[in-house]
């Protein structure tokens, strides 16, 4: 009996909703994002690999795996090799906390909101290390920029999540989802729209998408921290970016949009919940793609300035609103 349970848990980790599902879904999200971005720019986007270019991100990944992998003389060998692996591992690990097929993630423990927030800051740190270890001048500038941007977006990101946690009076993702489904009966975005907006904007910065693609700004510093990475290592970084997209949109779905819950047929919940999860994350991704096709890239000082001057006060205001609502007994 125990071995079967262990086997099921292992399958959950590796196949569904763990690694393999998340990676496949990450590639799908990248395709969705690219296709949508292309549509907004009056282009066609990926077209030939698979139906409507669906397999293009996967093909890119495989192609990069086969490419020559160069470690520059000036790089720190151990760090240079370890960072891409760590980045993928960390992104996969955080995904285990996101509820996908049921109201609970594969892993769930009291206070996991804090854990997930902490690990998501590690993304930023790892990017800094990645740039630092490669010992290139452009990477150095990229690293500095990552660090600065990190100072900007991390606090509003955390505050926006905290306001949701405050509303649900719990620091466990499962409880927050349960609160929305069973107690409130409404997704929390109804009461925390400001937090949702701040979450999305900081998420763009976390994912290094326009207008916050400053650390890798192609036209300014030639790709910033990832200049020296090639072959397998670059492939892993790109995979990690896709996984981060799943994480960011999945967390948004869990915290603001009622998790994977939606109308379903009793007994078939895992299937329906997965479909609802996909729909909700696609909505988040749609907004993110829209945002990134609308703007020009900001300058690093403008970003830090903007986040601290506007986002942080707004996030605090949101927390105050939530507290007020709790005090009045609305939620």
Partner 1 sequence: MSVEKRIFKIPVGPQHPALKEFEHFVFTVDGERVIDVGFRIGYTHRGIEKLAESKTYIQNLYLCERICGICSAAHQGCYAQTVEELADITAPPRGTYIRTLIWELERIHSHLLWLGVAAHEIGFDTLFMLVWRDREVVMDLLEMISGNRVNYAMSTIGGVRRDISDELKHKILKGLDILEERTKYYKEVCMKEQTILARAANVGILTREQALKLNAVGPTARASGVDVDLRRDDPYGAYDEVPFNVIVYDTCDVLARVLVRVDETFECINMCRWLLENLPEGDIRTKFARKIAENEVVGRVEAPRGELFYYIKSNGTDKPERLKVRTPTLANILPVCEMLKGGYIADIPIVLAGIDPCFACMDRALFIDENSEKKWVWSREQLRIYSIKWYKEHGNEVVRERWKQ
Tell the smallest beta-carbon distance from residue 210 to partner 1 (Å). Answer: 5
What is the distance between the alpha carbons of residues 111 and 170, in angstroms, rounded to a whole number?
Answer: 8
CB nearer to partner 1: give 170 or 226. 226
Unique residue bearing structure tokens 């086969």? 66
Residue 108 Rama label (left phi>0; alpha psi -120 to 50; beta): beta
Element (H, E) at 247: helix 231-256
Figure out which of the listed residues 6, 271, 301, 313 binds partner 1, where binding follows CB under 8 A: 301
- Listed in sequence order, the residues at least 6 apart from 8 whose beta carbon sits closer than 8 Å to its beta carbon are none
What is the distance between the alpha carbons of residues 203 and 201, in angstroms, rounded to a whole number?
Answer: 5
**Residue span binding partner 1 (CB under 8 A) among the ranges 91-99, 210-218, 235-243, 272-280:** 210-218
Q: Does 44 bind partner 1 (CB under 8 A)?
A: no
Tell the smallest beta-carbon distance from residue 288 to partner 1 (Å). Answer: 14
Q: Does 76 bind partner 1 (CB under 8 A)?
A: no
Q: Does 52 bind partner 1 (CB under 8 A)?
A: no
Figure out which of the listed residues 293, 308, 316, 326 binds partner 1, where binding follows CB under 8 A: 293
Q: Does 302 bind partner 1 (CB under 8 A)?
A: yes
Q: Does 3 bind partner 1 (CB under 8 A)?
A: no
- Using CB under 8 A as the binding criterion, the count of chain residues that bind partner 1 stands at 32
x/- letters, 246..285, toward partner 1 (CB under 8 A): ----------------------------------------
Instruction: Compute, in degrees rounded to 10, the torsion defined by CA atoms 249, 86, 83, 60.
Output: -60
Neighbours of 48 (CB within 10 A): 9
- 213: nearest Cα among 292, 284, 138: 292
x/- letters, 141..170, toward partner 1 (CB under 8 A): x--xx-------------------------
Neighbours of 296 (CB within 10 A): 6
CB nearer to partner 1: give 158 or 221. 221
Q: Does 310 bind partner 1 (CB under 8 A)?
A: no
Q: Does 103 bind partner 1 (CB under 8 A)?
A: no
Tell the smallest beta-carbon distance from residue 137 to partner 1 (Å). Answer: 6
Q: Does 225 bind partner 1 (CB under 8 A)?
A: no
What 3-state DSSP class applies to 246? helix
Contact indicator for 130, 87 with CB cutoff of 8 Å:
yes
- Preceding amide of 245 cis, omega within 30: no
- 127: nearest Cα among 71, 88, 72, 69: 88
Q: Does 294 bind partner 1 (CB under 8 A)?
A: yes
Which residues in this chain contact partner 1 in the complex, by CB under 8 A? Answer: 40-43, 73-74, 137-138, 140-141, 144-145, 210-211, 213-214, 217-222, 293-302
């Amino acid at each position: 009996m125990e071995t079967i349970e262990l086997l099921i848990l292992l399958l959950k980790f590796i196949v569904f909703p763990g690694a393999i599902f998340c990676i496949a879904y990450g590639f799908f999200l990248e395709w969705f994002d690219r296709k949508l971005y292309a549509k907004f720019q009056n282009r066609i986007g990926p077209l030939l690999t698979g139906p409507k270019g669906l397999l293009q991100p996967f093909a890119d990944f495989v192609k990069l795996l086969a490419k020559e992998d160069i470690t520059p003389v000036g790089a720190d060998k151990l760090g240079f090799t370890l960072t891409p692996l760590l980045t993928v591992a960390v992104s996969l690990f955080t995904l285990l906390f996101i509820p996908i097929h049921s109201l609970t993630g594969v892993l769930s423990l009291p206070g996991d909101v804090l854990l997930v927030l902490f690990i998501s800051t590690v993304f930023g740190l790892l990017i800094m290390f990645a740039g630092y270890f490669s010992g290139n001048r452009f990477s150095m500038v990229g690293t500095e920029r990552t660090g600065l941007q990190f100072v900007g977006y991390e606090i509003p990101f955390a505050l926006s999540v905290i306001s949701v946690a405050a509303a649900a009076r719990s620091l466990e993702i499962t409880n927050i989802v349960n609160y929305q489904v069973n107690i409130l009966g409404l997704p929390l975005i109804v009461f925390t729209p400001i937090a949702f907006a701040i979450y999305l904007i900081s998420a763009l910065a976390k994912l290094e998408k326009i207008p916050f693609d400053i650390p890798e700004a192609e036209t300014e510093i030639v790709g910033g921290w990832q200049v020296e990475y090639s072959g397998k290592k670059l492939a892993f970084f790109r995979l990690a970016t896709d996984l981060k997209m799943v994480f960011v949109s999945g967390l948004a779905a869990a915290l603001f949009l009622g998790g994977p819950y939606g109308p379903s047929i009793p007994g078939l919940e895992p299937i329906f919940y997965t479909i609802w999860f996909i729909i909700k994350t696609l909505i988040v991704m749609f907004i993110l793609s829209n945002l990134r096709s609308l703007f020009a890239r900001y300058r690093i000082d403008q970003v830090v300035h903007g986040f601290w001057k506007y986002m942080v006060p707004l996030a605090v205001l949101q927390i105050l609103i939530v507290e007020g609502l709790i005090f009045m007994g609305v939620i």
